[in-house]
Each structure stands twice: as C-alpha cells, then as structure tokens.
Amino acid sequence: MTEPVFLVGARGCGKTTVGKALAEAMGSRFVDTDRWLTETTGMTVAEMVARDGWPGFRRREGEALAAVTAPGLVVATGGGMVLAEANRQYMRERGTVIYLKAPAHILAHRLEAFPEEGQRPTLTGRPIADEIVEILHAREALYHQAAHHVIDAARAPQSVVADILAALPVARAS
C-alpha cells in the first residue's frame, strides 16, 4: 500500500497505540500529528491552546496534517482533526481514512486510567465522562464523513490492527 493511512477518532480510541502497531505490521513509518506539533513547536498542546486559543491550535493541526503526509505512512490524527472540512477532504483524497470507533464509556475509562497531563486540555471543563459523550455527539457524523472504513476500537489493539489490515484493500472502494 503506497497511500497513507489516517486514523481518526475521539481521544482514547487508540489512534496512537493502534497506529504504532499497524505501522509495524505494515512495515511502515508512524507519525502522530499532536506529537509532531509538540516536537516542532516546543510547546505542549495545552500551551498552544493557552497561547493561540482553540482556533489557532486547529489551524496548526491542519498544517501538521499536510506537513506529515507521505506515501505509506500511518498517521494518528488529533481527535478534532475532522472539525475542519478541508482536513476531512484532504485525508479522503490523499489516503485511506480509518475511524476507530468506541463507545463513550470505554473512551472515558481509558482516559481516566491513562491520563496525559498537560497534553490535551479539557474542551468543556466538565468531567471526562460527560465531556466524551458531548464530544462524540458533536463529532460522530464528521468521523463517519471522513472515514473510508469504520473499525470497532473497543477491543484489544491486536484485534483492531487485524481488522484494519483486512479492510485496507477494500477501504477505498467504499
């Protein structure tokens, strides 16, 4: 497969974990757009948002997507990457987009069990379980709109990777 694979989904769905394992299984390279942003700016996501607000961060996020896209690459995107229509279109036209879908209670459990302090500020100021429900409600249609294929991400990473590998040859046909 020569086109990039873009992983989209809410925080906690496993984009980074699955992305690394998928890249290894495919003999490809992996990049996380949030990590790329923090490394190139020298700031955490929280610091970028504090300095430039969410609109400034979202602009940087789109720039990061374009900067990292390369043939054969597995790209884990930020959970809000799909908010910009230009990003959704860019990913669909340049690669295969996989939506890692999981129920809100599983996402909240994962985020509470493995918090990344300073990495991603709250969007709503509410408890994580409430925030995830709200975020999924607002973004679910956008994840589906961006995706060539939807994968159940509520399972173990190895199972998710196997499903993605099975879907890749047919993902662009949908």
* The predicted structure's pLDDT at residue 123: 56
- Asked if residue 172 has pLDDT above 50, the reply is no
| Model confidence pLDDT, tens digit, residues 73-84 | 999 999 999 999
Average pLDDT over residues 108-121: 64
Give phi and psi for 97, each to the nearest 5. -105, 125
pLDDT at 122: 55
Q: Give the number of residues written for the chain.
A: 174
- pTM given for the model: 0.89
Q: Give domain 5-171's CATH architecture.
A: 3-Layer(aba) Sandwich (3.40)
Residue 171 predicted with pLDDT over 60: no
5-8 and 30-32: which strand pairing? unpaired
Q: What is the domain partition of the chain in residue ranges? A: 5-171
CB-based contacts of 5, cutoff 8 Å, min separation 6: 22, 26, 28, 73, 74, 75, 95, 96, 97, 98, 164, 168
| Per-residue model confidence (pLDDT) at position 104 | 87
Q: In the beta sheet, which residues pair with residue 7? A: 76, 98
How high does pLDDT run on average in the chain? 88
